[in-house]
Structure 1
Amino acid sequence: MEKEVQEYLDRVHESDFAMLCEVDRICKKHGIQYFLHGGTFLGAVRHQDFIPWDDDVDILFLRKDYEKFLEVFESEADKRFKLLRFEKYPQFFDFITKIADQDLTYEGTSFGAEDFYENRYSHPTLDLFVFDIEAGHHKWQLTRMKFLYALAMGHRPYIDYSKFDGAMKTVAKVLAGIGRVIPFKVIARQYIKLQTLGGLAEVHGEKKTLFISNEQPDPRYWGLDFGPEHLIDGPDTGIIRGKEFPIPKLHDKWLTKTYGNFMALPPEDKRVPMHVNIIK
Structure 2
Amino acid sequence: GFIPWDDDIDIWMPRDDFNKLLDYDLNQKVGYTKYKICTRKNTSNYAYGMARFSNQNFKYVSTDVSEKDVDMGLFIDIYPLDNYCSTKENAYKLHKKFNVLNKKYFFYISGKSNTLLKTIPRMFIHCVLRLIHGNKWNKKIDNIINTYLSEFTNDDDKFVGVPVWELRFEPFERKLFEERVRVKFEGIDVWIPKENDKLLKKMYGDYMQLPPVEEQVPHHGYKVYRR
Shorter-chain TM-score range:
0.7 to 0.9
* 1:88–1:277 CA distance, 2 compared to 1 (3 A): closer
**Contact in 1 for aligned 2:110/2:123 (Cα 8 Å):** no
State how far apart, in whole Å, the 2-side matches of 1:146 and 1:156 are.
17
Task: Determine if the alignment matches structure 1 residue 272 to structure 2 residue 226.
Answer: no
Task: Determine if the alignment matches structure 1 residue 210 to structure 2 residue 160.
Answer: yes
TM-score with structure 2 setting the length: 0.75
State how far apart, in whole Å, the 2-side matches of 1:172 and 1:192 are.
27
Which of 61, 65, 79 in structure 2 is aligned with 1:129?
A: 79
* 1:157–1:76 CA distance, 2 compared to 1 (3 A): farther
* 1:72–1:190 CA distance, 2 compared to 1 (3 A): closer
Where does the alignment leave 5 or more consecutive residues of structure 1 unmatched? 1-43
Question: Superposition pairs for residues 28-107 of structure 1, below 5 Å?
Answer: 44-47=1-4, 51=6, 54=7, 56-72=8-24, 74=26, 75-76=29-30, 78-89=32-43, 91-106=45-60
Question: Superposition pairs for residues 143-154 of structure 1, below 5 Å?
Answer: 143-154=96-107
**Contact in 1 for aligned 2:39/2:52 (Cα 8 Å):** yes
State how far apart, in whole Å, the 1-side matches of 2:157 and 2:85 are.
13
- Once the two structures are TM-superposed, the CA of residue 239 in structure 1 deviates from its matched residue by 3.1
* 1:207–1:145 CA distance, 2 compared to 1 (3 A): closer
State how far apart, in whole Å, the 2-side matches of 1:260 and 1:77 are.
43
Task: String of CA shifts for 1:223-269, please: whole Å, max 9, x gaps.
Answer: x1111222223x22443322221222211111111111101112333
State how far apart, in whole Å, the 2-side matches of 1:142 and 1:269 are.
33
Which of 149, 171, 175 in structure 2 is aligned with 1:225?
A: 171
**Contact in 2 for aligned 1:63/1:200 (Cα 8 Å):** no
- Once the two structures are TM-superposed, the CA of residue 98 in structure 1 deviates from its matched residue by 1.4
**Contact in 2 for aligned 1:152/1:180 (Cα 8 Å):** no
Length, aligned pairs only: 214
Partner of 2:71: 120
- Once the two structures are TM-superposed, the CA of residue 85 in structure 1 deviates from its matched residue by 1.9
**Contact in 1 for aligned 2:85/2:158 (Cα 8 Å):** no
Partner of 2:205: 260
State how far apart, in whole Å, the 1-side matches of 2:31 and 2:76 are.
14
State how far apart, in whole Å, the 1-side matches of 2:184 and 2:204 are.
19
**Contact in 2 for aligned 1:92/1:152 (Cα 8 Å):** no
**Contact in 2 for aligned 1:153/1:179 (Cα 8 Å):** no
- Once the two structures are TM-superposed, the CA of residue 279 in structure 1 deviates from its matched residue by 4.1
* 1:271–1:173 CA distance, 2 compared to 1 (3 A): same
Q: CA RMSD in A?
A: 3.4
State how far apart, in whole Å, the 2-side matches of 1:144 and 1:87 are.
20
- Once the two structures are TM-superposed, the CA of residue 58 in structure 1 deviates from its matched residue by 1.6
Match for 1:120: what amino acid? D
**Contact in 2 for aligned 1:62/1:132 (Cα 8 Å):** yes
* 1:77–1:135 CA distance, 2 compared to 1 (3 A): farther
- Flag the structure with higher strand content: 2
**Contact in 1 for aligned 2:55/2:75 (Cα 8 Å):** yes
Where does the alignment leave 5 or more consecutive residues of structure 2 unmatched? none
- Once the two structures are TM-superposed, the CA of residue 130 in structure 1 deviates from its matched residue by 0.8
State how far apart, in whole Å, the 1-side matches of 2:31 and 2:99 are.
33
SS in 2 for 1:105: strand
